[in-house]
Amino acid sequence: MSDRALFGDRVRRVVIAVAVMSLVATVGALVFGRRLTTPEAQPRDSYGAGALGHRAFLETMRALGVRVQRWTRPEWDSVSAPLWIIEPNQPWVMVQSRTTTLGELVRARADAERVTVIVLPKWQPGMLGMVADEDAIEIAAILTELPFAVSLVRGPIEDDWRTIDAHELARDATRRLELRWPQRVQGGVPVLWDDEGSFVVRDDKALIYVVSDPDLLHSFNLQRGAHAALWRDFTRDTLHAEDIVIDEVFHGAVRTRSLPELFGRWPGVLVLVHGAIVALVVLLMGRRRFGPPDPIPEALGRGPREVIDVAASVLANGSRETTLALRYVEDVIADLHRRLGLSEAATADARAALIDQAAERRRVGASAAKLLADARAVEKTRRRREALVIARRAAELRAALMGTKKEERA
């Protein structure tokens, strides 16, 4: 079996460098990939643009001094601030094979005496950027999840905007609303209402609030200062809060902290691929040729047994005589450096320079540096006859410096 590794030192360094750069690029894609690509469209992402988005609501509330956080994890136990579920896509969500209904979430938060605000859907995305009215059956399915009775009140669809003077319970005052095709509810305790129905209702314990018309929060309509002031005062005076959390899980924008979820999807799966490649490279770096391990050879010394051993190694590896000559010269230089007790040197060239200084002091005319240079030149030319001459010169150099001419000549 050969004692040379499958990969050379230079190949190892190149492969490791490529693997590290590829791994860094993968991690960069995980961290910054969402910023470099167009985000996936969601039916009702609270931070999306367009008529069904609520980005203006979020940024306006922040500008008015209310601290707002978007919530994308399917775990709500740590959310103590009022939780806003704006236009849920459906009355339940399934994340990692686990189903959570809106009713379960609302009741759990009510039992913990935490406030939940549900904004009912009214529109749904259509073709070519248009919107269509949401099916009343879908809204009714959401209302049935609530622990108190609430029903939807709709009139005929009208394109004209209507100005509505609504009564507010907290301030005992009137709010002016501007809505297209107002949507109302009945049931619960009215918080904001007019003669035809309620826009905001709550349960008896003031822990669950239902907003009937999402146009009060939509980006295309929130530029009206009266709507923005309504939600600022509602948060502070009715909810008695300075922080609110907007849920995104029921909109389909879910992020989990599960490692299988992270590494099982693109581009996280690239980390596993690159990890497997790096592990394979590490294994191959220490791998040898097939076959049982060679027994530890006895000390051969210098002379015919060394020549036979080196020649056998050449035959086993399929190496050329020129390669053998270069290796033999390097071995002779390393042996002379050790036996002469010279100072430490990391490379063959440095050792050859120290040997030449010792040869000059001993008045030996041969040069180890020149011998090493000639061996390298012959290894490139691959001339067999010159390789034998180089090997003999190496033996004569060692014999001249160590005074063992008879042994080396043999």
pLDDT tens per residue, range 191-220: 999 999 999 999 999 999 999 998 888 766
Domain segments of the chain: what residues?
55-252, 304-409
Q: How far apart are CA 197 and CA 69, in angstroms?
A: 31
Provide DSSP, 2-53: -SS-SS-HHHHHHHHHHHHHHHHHHHHHHHHHHHHSPPPP-TT-TT--STT-
Q: Please check the confidence at residue 395 and state whether its pLDDT lies above 50.
A: yes
| 206 three-class SS | coil
Per-residue pLDDT, averaged over 299-304, amounts to 59
Q: What is the pTM of this model?
A: 0.55
pLDDT tens for 221-278 read 666 678 888 999 999 999 999 999 998 888 776 766 666 666 766 777 777 887 888 7
pLDDT for residue 127 = 66
pLDDT for residue 162 = 86
Mean predicted lDDT score pLDDT of the chain: 79
Q: How far apart are CA 229 and CA 64, in angstroms?
A: 9
pLDDT for residue 408 = 41
Q: How far apart are CA 16 and CA 278, in angstroms?
A: 8
- Sequence letter at residue 38: T
pLDDT for residue 378 = 84
Per-residue pLDDT, averaged over 180-188, amounts to 91
For residue 36, count other CB atoms closer than 10 A to its CB.
8
pLDDT band at 2 (very low <50, low <70, confident <90, very high): very low
pLDDT tens for 99-132 read 889 999 999 999 999 999 999 988 876 666 567 7
Q: Which of 141-145, 187-191, 368-372 has the lowest mean pLDDT?
A: 368-372
Q: How far apart are CA 349 and CA 28, in angstroms?
A: 43
pLDDT for residue 393 = 86
Q: Please check the confidence at residue 59 and state whether its pLDDT lies above 70.
A: yes
pLDDT tens for 23-51 read 787 777 766 665 555 544 444 555 555 45
